[in-house]
Structures are given as structure tokens and as C-alpha cells.
Amino acid sequence: MAKRGEPAILLLFGLPTAAIDWQIAESWRLPAWVSLLAAAVVIVAFGAVLLLPRLRAVGSAIMAAVLYGMPVIGGIARWKLIPSPKALIGDGAYQMQLARGVLMRGIDPYGFNYAGTGMERAPWSQPFANPSLHHLDYWPGTIVLPLPVQAAFRAVFGWWDERLWLLLVAAVIWIVIGRLAPGPVGRMAALAFFLIPGHSLLAVLGDNDLPMVALLLAGMLAIHRERWLLAGGLIGLAIATKQTALIAVPVVLCWSVARGIGWHRLLQACGLGAAVIAVLFTPFLIWNAHAFISDTIVFNLGGGTETYPIQGIGLSAWLLQIGFIHDAREAFPFFLIQLPLVVAAWVMAGRWFAQRRAIGDAIFWIGIALFVFLFTNRFSQQAYLLLGAELILAGLIARLWRQPDIVAEAPVPVAA
């Protein structure tokens, strides 16, 4: 596996990703020497993985950095240097950095009118205006956690791009996966996560699920090392960062119980996680509870002109296309479909953990639960489905790693 698995993963996922990256460079009309230089670096790095065992870790990291990170850096540079009527950043990532700027000016980012801030120039494929111009549906952790980084960078350089933060988080995920499954297996899992075809294309606009994933994986690493309170705090941060993390919580709880956490420690960890959420939520609830609830809950679950419209490639889009749902903003009880399917995934995960408790099993079932939930969600975009597929693949590969057994040495008899 150490000799063949890593090069095989790089070929299987790296070649399609390289082809997509090449098309991105062609559409941007980048000079040919830039693409050729990146290709040369990738080829040399792959040669190191294939032929030089001591340099495999470095070669894999370089390939992931070039194939995943370079298009993102190119998107940042292009948006910064080349004037364009269209903003080369997704509306979600752009709104995050705008919301922090609003907060640093002492204004509540929830209920704020983002029209006229430049967000209306972000890519939007619908015939009507983006309703996010008047709603911020991201939870407080998304705004607060990166705020010191954004403030410091902007103070030094005078500008900021949300994708800088997301690239930093991507590096953290690479490191954490390597800690969860050390050696070649961890690198293969990380490569599958970042180089799944299409990931770099979506990351160009802002891979804004990464902070939540990083916190979830860090929490699982803490559970793996039986640092229960740290795990509770990290999972709380993940929930406060993005609502989607709630779907992973029952899987994490089942895995923690299977790993041997006592009820006393479990309650302490849950209490700490709830406290973290409360600390981040309370200031905004005190500031303007109506705006906070309207932006983060009603906006996603309600119906009418102020509801996020159905879009993407999931079940909701299918029902809209066949006429079962008549309008993209029509209220529909997707929760009645989601809940039984997600609960079934949770129950299956719990039964699975009764026999198999490896870290890869936990990552795999988190991916299954997220995929099921997001596919049946009101808006199921490509990035959401890709997120579930990334975790499923990474989990399946991470299952190949087995923690070495520690054999206690027998005491040496002492001669009388």
C-alpha cells in the first residue's frame, strides 16, 4: 500500500483535477509558461512520490498545493489585478468578509443591507436578485473566528480576500488528517479529499465549508486521543460556525460512546460545547434577536419572496423540474424527507460503531449523514454534495490505517 497506493491516488484524482485546472488557466488566458511551469512542478513532485520514498510526503503535499491551491491563488490575483464587472469570488465567501468588515465598523451584520457593497457582482445564475443581499445566513463562528486574521492582514496590506483564510484552513485540514491516520494512508485520505475532481473548480470561488470541516476533524482527533473536553469545545465551535455541523453531531456522539467515553465526561464535553455556542450566539441575540433569527432560520426554512430559492442538483431541483414544486420560492416540508433518512443514517452509524471504531469509520459516516441531508435539502448545490463525497472517500481510505497494538512486556524475573 505504501508503494502503490499513493501514486495510484495521485493518478486517479490528480489527472482529472489537472485537466480541470488547465481549462481554468485557458479560460483566464494565462500565459502558457505559467501552466507549463505548474505542470513541470507537478510532474517532478509525482516522480518524487513514485521513486523516492523519503520524499513522498513532500511530493504529495506539493501536488495537492499546486493542483488545489494554485487555481485559488490565481483567482485571488486575477480579481485583485484585473478590473472586471464580475467579481471572481462566490457570493458566500464574499459576504463573509463583508460581514466582518461591517462588524468591525460597529454595525450588526445580521439584518444589514449588502446591496451596494459589491456583492451584487458576485456570480449568480438566477434571473432574480440574490436574496442574500438582504440576509446573512451564516452563524457567528464564521464571522468571529477569522476576524483577528482578517483585521491584522488588512491593517498590514490594506486588503483582504476570504480565500486566504480558506487556504489556511485547508492546510490545517491536511495536517489534521495526517494526524488522524499517520503515514501514507493519511496522505492518501487527504489527497482524495482535496483532489476529488471538481473541488479546485469550486474552491476558486471560495470553499467556505472548510472551517466547519476543520473543526469537526480536529474534534475527532481530540476524541481519538481521549481529550474529551477539548473535543467538546471544538465540536461546539463547528456548530457555531455552520449549521450543517449539527448533522454530524449524533455520529460523533455515537463514536465517542463506542470509544469509551463515560457519561460524566460526555455531559461535561456537551456542556462545554453548548457554552461555546452560547458565548458566540448571545451577543448577536442581545443586539438584534429578530434580525438574527430571520437571517439564519426563517430565511432558510420559510417561504415567499424572502426565502432562499431552490437551486442546485439535489432532490429539490428534481421536484421543481418535474412540476411537483411549482416555484423556486415555494414553501415545501423538506424536513419531513430529511429527518427519517438522516435518523436512519445515524442509527446505522451507531450499529456500525458497535463492531468497528476506527477513525476512518467515523469520517465515513459523517460523510454519509451530510450527503443524505444535503442532497434532500431545500438548496443542494454542487459544493454541498462534493463535501459529502470528500468525507466518504477520505473515510474509506483512512479505514486502511490500523493503530499499532502496544504489547506490554512481561516483567523480567530477578534471580534470588
Rg, C-alpha atoms of the chain: 23
Tell me the three cell numbers of residue 50: 513514485
Q: Tell me what percent of the chain is helix, strand and coil, each rounded to the nearest 5.
A: 70, 0, 30
> What integer pLDDT is reported at residue 406 of this predicted model?
36
> What integer pLDDT is reported at residue 335 of this predicted model?
84
What would the pLDDT profile of 206-261 be if each residue is shown by its tens digit? 999 999 999 999 999 999 999 999 999 999 999 999 999 999 999 999 999 998 88
> What integer pLDDT is reported at residue 84 of this predicted model?
78
Residue 91: CB partners within 8 Å, gap ≥ 6?
Answer: 119, 122, 123, 124, 130, 132
> What integer pLDDT is reported at residue 162 of this predicted model?
95
Residue 407: CB partners within 8 Å, gap ≥ 6?
Answer: none
Q: Give the residue among 378, 298, 304 at the shortest CA–CA distance from 338.
A: 378
Alpha-carbon gap, residue 93 to 383, rounded angstroms: 13
> What integer pLDDT is reported at residue 216 of this predicted model?
96
> What integer pLDDT is reported at residue 311 of this predicted model?
75
> What integer pLDDT is reported at residue 408 of this predicted model?
37
> What integer pLDDT is reported at residue 405 of this predicted model?
40
**Which residues, given as ranges, of the chain have pLDDT below 70?**
1-3, 125-128, 301-307, 402-416
What is the torsional sign of CA 128, 133, 138, 139? negative
What would the pLDDT profile of 62-80 be if each residue is shown by its tens digit? 999 999 999 999 999 998 8
Question: pTM for this structure?
Answer: 0.91
